[in-house]
Structure 1
């Protein structure tokens, strides 16, 4: 029987090792560059948060200071889950699958990690139970937190494009949508315009002498490093291999 050649080029171990060592040099340089970018993140000036935000949490009502729970640092993942959603955004859910296990480690290293969404706390609690997650999740409802940190656009802002996302002006909603956003919206049982009023992102805060300061935010591709599955796929033979929409809530793969 004839041997079928692989689609990708092949080499001897010695040839492979030569190229791998060249790649290692590039990886080391990328690591050093990443360290420098992290240093610059931490060197950003702090901006005082003057607004008194109130959130709904499992135990009742909580202020932004309360979310620190005795720590000096707070990381917030802006989870796309609007009031009209029946389930969380599948992309945000995939990211949450990755950070669910590390929240306890961060909490024991002076850093609280919370997810924050606009959906009512009862919806968040039910979805959290469905997904088997343990990280803390707060409802911002309509307290202005999501708008102020640029992860929500009203229907009017969406229509006119008068909002900010990823530190740039927004744009009016496109008349047609592609496969990926349409299928993401479908998994939350919303239409596309309702779905994309919520935006993904993360924000960092510090509590110093009783005062809360905003220190950093990231959006869009700036969240890639927080998406654990992508870090593994980038090391897989075929990479991200995203020729079509593929991810779902982790309990929905069997049904698909």
Structure 2
């Protein structure tokens, strides 16, 4: 017998209408927050960043691929990883589907990671993806946009990530078991794994000048994590007790 509340259709419909009002409030609030994002001032990017891409070396401007807007997903794949972060991989599973739509709306989507390009492309083949992925190996890009940290920064204490110092699970001592597990799955130790963090950054190009418009990290990426949007609408919700997801080719069955 179910432990969840049950009702007649009429009772369910009354409760659903109450929920609809709350959902509409949330949608309007989300619209308001989106407008606040778009009102953020832009910061001119004068530094020259260089990336390795399939077509050869590229600058940040060239990553736009002729469009006026660029969305960068900071994919956790450090130089010493042997595989990409499982969480980033789950998020990236949705990229191919909507990248083509963004491209036809003046927006280029690309992933950027610090691992050498050959590692990134080999992993992309394993995952069956095709979205653009560039390497910032040897460049300051990841460090300047607060998604990678040097060993020296780690030795000095908690790093500043997501606009706060030492507020992220990966900064904690002892290291949480999920971080250790993910590090192992990426072929490295926890210290190496947590020198890279997830995030996304938005850039815009006007009159040949590139500006940084927005960045978000950690739980700020929830809206991009497509599977969670579906789970939030499933009868049991996220229903989590610890880390349950894997890379899509690591499940026992599809």
Q: Same-fold call, TM > 0.5?
A: yes
Which structure 2 residue ranges, 5 or more long, are not aligned?
Answer: none
**Aligned-residue offset at 1:97:** 0.2
Q: How does 1:96-245 map to 2 (within 5 A)?
A: 96-161=92-157, 163-170=159-166, 173-245=171-243
Give the Cα–Cα distance (whole angstroms) in 2 for the partners of residues 173 and 215 of structure 1. 27
Give the Cα–Cα distance (whole angstroms) in 1 for the partners of residues 41 and 183 of structure 2. 37
**Aligned-residue offset at 1:189:** 1.0
Deviations 1:51-100 (A, max 9, x none): 10000001110000000011000000000000010000000000000122
CA contact (8 A) 1:173 1:193 kept: no
**Aligned-residue offset at 1:178:** 2.4
CA contact (8 A) 2:69 2:106 kept: yes
CA contact (8 A) 1:100 1:133 kept: yes
Q: TM-score normalized by structure 1?
A: 0.95
Q: CA RMSD of the aligned region, Å?
A: 1.5
Give the Cα–Cα distance (whole angstroms) in 2 for the partners of residues 39 and 255 of structure 1. 42
**Aligned-residue offset at 1:239:** 0.8
Q: 1:71 aligns with which of 67, 74, 79?
A: 67
Deviations 1:108-153 (A, max 9, x none): 1100000000000000000000001010000001210001000011
- Secondary structure at the aligned position of 1:138 is classed as strand
The answer to whether structure 1 residue 249 and structure 2 residue 234 are counterparts is no
Give the Cα–Cα distance (whole angstroms) in 2 for the partners of residues 168 and 175 of structure 1. 17
Q: 2:49 aligns with which of 41, 53, 76?
A: 53
Give the Cα–Cα distance (whole angstroms) in 2 for the partners of residues 8 and 166 of structure 1. 37
**Aligned-residue offset at 1:254:** 2.1
Q: 2:34 aligns with which of 33, 38, 56?
A: 38
**Aligned-residue offset at 1:255:** 7.7
Which structure 1 residue ranges, 5 or more long, are not aligned?
Answer: none
Number of equivalenced pairs: 252
- Secondary structure at the aligned position of 1:50 is classed as coil
Give the Cα–Cα distance (whole angstroms) in 1 for the partners of residues 43 and 223 of structure 2. 24
Give the Cα–Cα distance (whole angstroms) in 2 for the partners of residues 99 and 235 of structure 1. 21
